[in-house]
Chains A and B, each alone.
Chain A
Amino acid sequence: MDLFQIINDIAQADPEVYARFDSRRATFRHLLGFGRKFSAAALPVALSTLFTKAYGQTATLPAAVINALTLALQLEYLEYHFYDTALNSPALMLSSDESRSLTTIRNDENLHITTLRSALGNTVSPLTRKDFDYTGSQGQTQAVLFPGLGAPGTGLFTDRTAFFSLAQMLEDTGVRAYKGAVPSLNISTTQDAVKDILEVALNIHSVEARHAARVRSLRRGGVQSITAPKSWTTPDETPATPPLPHGGTRAPNAVGPYNAGSPAATSPAESNVLQGPAALNVQTLTVGVSGTAGAEAFDEPLDAATVKAIAKNFAVTPALLFN
């Protein structure tokens, strides 16, 4: 990344960019500060913070980018409070191995919140445990989906099976949500600030996938267990996982972590085996592979509307979240 070139490119389009940064001297002082304070890997975030500051919060981020980041941030809050509640729930009888891994995941989600809030200009009000209903009853306006996961907006968890089951669903949905958001972040404008945000999303996406794999190995009783689930999605999960309610918004399609989204051509079910522009059947492309490898080898994106329909089940007031 050539910081000076990025700023020069912007200066071509916006001669006042240096004034926006206070002054050119101050700009470089900012950049030097980043060099000292952050590793190179942290630079994209540092930079996007700088640009957000320069351009007055999110005013110049394209609307599609703001929408994608806002949904991502709400999903991170959903996950953070989910794990935070679990870690404070003695009735779950978490083993030390489970506690350590879930703490790692919770802390990652907290950092993702910080990162996404920063990219959005730190203007978003934080969401709290009060905003979420992990029983899936939408604040007791629909039937409870996960008994034992507290009460609307409050309460500790008591049901291990329900907790780990929902953990897997939320992680796998999170991976699909980031993947589905990627095209809306791949916008070439004055490019680099937005490209940095695209890379931030990719860098969160793979961390969510690591979480999903770990939750799955906890669910099967540890890494040396050969029972289901595998650490990757398998095609049988698509029909076997009961669909979630969607308030009629997505009818007639079933909504779920492994189901197709809309349109199904770009958000196919996780059992999909057709890849690439020519819809090649990857299951038959290579001889000698297992009968499920073709579907396992690719995770599928999920469109924002379907992600929102899934996530709304866990909002105390669905009208206020995941819109």
Chain B
Amino acid sequence: MPENSADNPASDHSSPLARRRFLRYSGAGLAAGGLWLAGCAKDKNEITPSSRLDVGAGDPGILNFAYALEQLEAAFYAQVVAGPYFASASAAEKAILSDLRDHEAIHAALFKNLLGSNAIKDLNFDFSNIDFSQRTTAESASRLGVLNAARAFEDLGVAAYNGVGRYITSNDNLLLAGKIVSVEARHAAIIRELITANTFVASDVVDTTNNGLEKSKRPQDVLTIANTFLAEGSKLSAANIK
């Protein structure tokens, strides 16, 4: 989106932008209020801080974006199955978390292979906000329990694939994302059921009032969350996916 030039009225008086600038200050623009301002705030975030690693543009950028999320999940589950909660988990939870570790490791390996020399680096993680000895977040604890963290990662992955699909050019890549996102949704559903019964679909992830649609997240919004689990030097930007 060429939003930045809209902040500089002198830069461009040619048609769509000029009209848009007018609308912004017209009654319609002002009345659009919350929605419009939300758009502006988001655009400000598109300025990439120099410390952010950009995943790139176009389909390779989107594959790298997905690769980053899969790396994050794979690293998380690898640490889960080596941790104290897992050692004492129920048989079913061990089986589920082992499968999730395997699935995410395979997803990450496939993206790395497909991207070849275009792949972003192996990321470093910061899981200091996760307590690998707790099944779920303990009362008044400052750190997430394992299942709560898993739920956050799985729901985030689904929202991310859903929110980036429209920017994918190649149908092969779109189908690949589709093959993965439904498995992530299956993961999310069972993790949520392990925490609370009958939450496999709930209003925090699906609009259960108006349309029955899962809520998408745009790449930059996904990375705002993912970056809280990435170490300095591995934090990401997706400003060029559009």
Contacts and interface: CB of A to CB of B under 8 A. Distances in A.
Interface in B32-70: 32-35, 38-39
A64 interface: no
Interface stretch (A129-137, A205-213, A250-258): A205-213
A202 B215 contact: no
Interface residues of A, number: 79
B182 A209 contact: yes
A285 B106 contact: yes
B8 interface: no
Contact of A214 (B106, B168, B200, B212): B200
A108 B213 CA distance: 8
Contact of A297 (B39, B91, B102): B102
**Which among B28, B31, B182, B208 has the greatest number of chain A C-beta atoms within 10 A?**
B182
Main secondary structure of the interface of B (DSSP, over half): helix
Given A179-B175, A202-B181, A210 B211 contact: no
Nearest to B217: A41
A210 B201 contact: yes
**Which among B109, B165, B200 has the greatest number of chain A C-beta atoms within 10 A?**
B200
Interface stretch (B120-128, B135-143, B183-191, B230-238): B183-191
A1 to B, nearest CB: 8
Given A214-B200, A223-B92, A293-B99, A286 B213 contact: no
Contacts of B174: 182-183, 186
Given A199-B165, A210-B186, A226-B95, A297 B107 contact: yes
Contacts of A175: 182
A48 B62 CA distance: 25
Contact of A199 (B106, B184, B216): B216
Contact of A104 (B28, B95, B161, B201): B201
Interface stretch (A148-156, A159-167, A276-284, A308-316): A276-284
A217 B110 contact: no
A207 B212 contact: yes
B158 to A, nearest CB: 5
A39 B194 contact: no
Contacts of A198: 165-166
Interface in A73-128: 97, 100-101, 104-105, 107-112, 114-115
Interface in A190-212: 195-196, 198-200, 202-212
Interface string A18-40: 00000001001001100100111
Contacts of B201: 104-105, 108, 207, 210-211, 214
Nearest to B202: A104
Interface residues of B, number: 73
A261 to B, nearest CB: 13
A293 B98 CA distance: 10
Interface stretch (A51-59, A139-147, A235-243, A298-306): A298-306
Given A28-B28, A32-B31, A32-B32, A203 B213 contact: yes
A266 to B, nearest CB: 8
Given A45-B210, A206-B182, A294 B106 contact: yes
A35 B110 contact: no
A282 B105 CA distance: 10
A275 interface: yes
A290 B38 CA distance: 45
A301 B93 CA distance: 28
A213 B186 contact: yes
B13 interface: no
A209 B186 contact: yes
Given A206-B162, A206-B181, A217 B95 contact: no
A108 B103 contact: no
8 contacts: A2-B3, A5-B1, A35-B34, A213-B200, A276-B176, A299-B178, A301-B175, A301-B179
Given A206-B162, A276-B114, 8 more contacts: A4-B23, A100-B197, A195-B166, A198-B165, A213-B187, A285-B113, A299-B178, A301-B179
